[in-house]
Amino acid sequence: MKDNIESSNIDGMNGAERMVKRILDVLGALVLLILLSPIFLFIYVKQKISNPGPAIYSQERIGKGGKPFRIFKFRTMVVDAEEKGIPQLEQTDDPRLTEFGKDLRRYHLDELPQVWNVLIGDMSFVGYRPERQFFIDQIMKHNPDYKLLYVSSPGVTSLAAVENGYTDTMDKMLRRLDMDLDYLHHRSILLDAKIIVKTLFNI
């Protein structure tokens, strides 16, 4: 399946552009990890003081090539937020959010640990938001083209994430997929820069 996906020629970037994108991701991640280290430390300490349980949690998501990886976030929900381990969609005003988690979510600070995912190559700064296999299976029942996203790395932000908001319904997930596929077909370094700027203004 991987060879078929790669031969579909839907990626707007050529090999050289993908290499430049990766170099920019690594450099950007290194700079951010250094500059934002005080914020990382503050959030970590605040989290440990205000909420029992781990400050950072990881969760399996599906990334490039359809391979699973562990995504990192600052925890915003109560421990064992998913009863009986059944995956649930996150909502804008999710009742499972802790008080400090609401602040982290409001300013998207819970996503900061994903800078590490970018550095080690699991993610890029711009790309489709990675999902869990449970939800991917549901999406693909409606639109099997989701697998086309696997030619690229998932991202910390995307145009769909900025404009479509939290995907708390299947309709939103399918709309996000359409936007992600359109981005993949037209993506460029300049478009990535525009999306990052738009993300910062949105925050």
Position 90 scores a pLDDT of: 64
| Length of the chain (residues) | 203
Averaged pLDDT score across all residues of the chain: 89
The pLDDT value given to residue 50: 86
Residues of the chain with pLDDT > 90: what percent?
Answer: 67
Percent of the chain with pLDDT over 70: 89
Among 131, 117, 78, which residue's Cα sits nearest to residue 101? 78
pLDDT band of residue 89 (cuts 50, 70, 90) is: low
The pLDDT of residue 84: 58
Confidence (pTM): 0.87
Contact 168, 102 (CB under 8 A): no
| Predicted confidence band of residue 2 (pLDDT cuts 50, 70, 90) | very low
Confidence of residue 195 (pLDDT cuts 50, 70, 90): very high
- State pLDDT tens for residues 90-137: 665 677 888 888 888 888 899 999 999 999 999 999 999 999 999 999
CA distance 200 to 32: 14
**Domain around 81:** 2-202
Give residue 82's pLDDT: 62
pLDDT in tens, 29-67: 999 999 999 999 999 999 988 888 889 989 999 999 999
Q: How many domains does the chain have?
A: 1
Residues 127-154, mean pLDDT to the nearest whole number? 96
* pLDDT score at 185: 96
> Which residues 6+ apart lie within 8 Å of 56 measured at CB?
44, 72, 73, 74, 75, 113
C-alpha to C-alpha distance for 9 and 138, rounded to whole angstroms: 25
**Whether the predicted pLDDT of 193 surpasses 60:** yes
